[in-house]
Amino acid sequence: MTKKILCIEDEPEMIDLIRVILGRKGFEVVGASGGVEGLRILKEIKPDLILLDLMMPDMDGWEVYQQMKAEESTKHIPVIVVTARAQNIDKVLGLHIAKVDDYIAKPFSPQELLSSVEKILGSQN
């Protein structure tokens, strides 16, 4: 069965890039351009995994994360934070305090993205 991944990201080129990388491996990638749209689509499609950008103009990634984790129907969905904010403090906050499932800094290699996605979705089987 095809795993569905929701990519919440304000840069259309980044969504396209992620769609190409993960599409080759048989994942279905649904793009949402920003946090507000991301939360709406999240409730509609209930993806297997979320790729979440932190810095978005309408609603930042941490707010999206907190709202989805507060919802009973979406709190179990794993989240990989994909962001240009690669400072160590953000990584520590993301992985330890917010308990995101993984953290990828932009720019990333296709292999880095695939490894992270496969590690998390593979552990769900």
* Residues 78-94 pLDDT 10s: 999 887 765 555 655 65
Domain boundaries of the chain, sorted by first residue? 4-122
pTM of structure: 0.90
* Alpha helices, H only, the chain: 12-23, 35-45, 61-70, 88-92, 110-122
CATH number of this structure's domain 4-122, picked from the four choices 3.40.50.150, 2.70.40.10, 3.40.718.10, 3.40.50.2300: 3.40.50.2300
- Tokens at residue 10, please? 């304000």
pLDDT digits (tens, 9 = 90+) for 3-59: 999 999 999 999 999 999 999 999 999 999 999 999 999 999 999 999 999 888 899
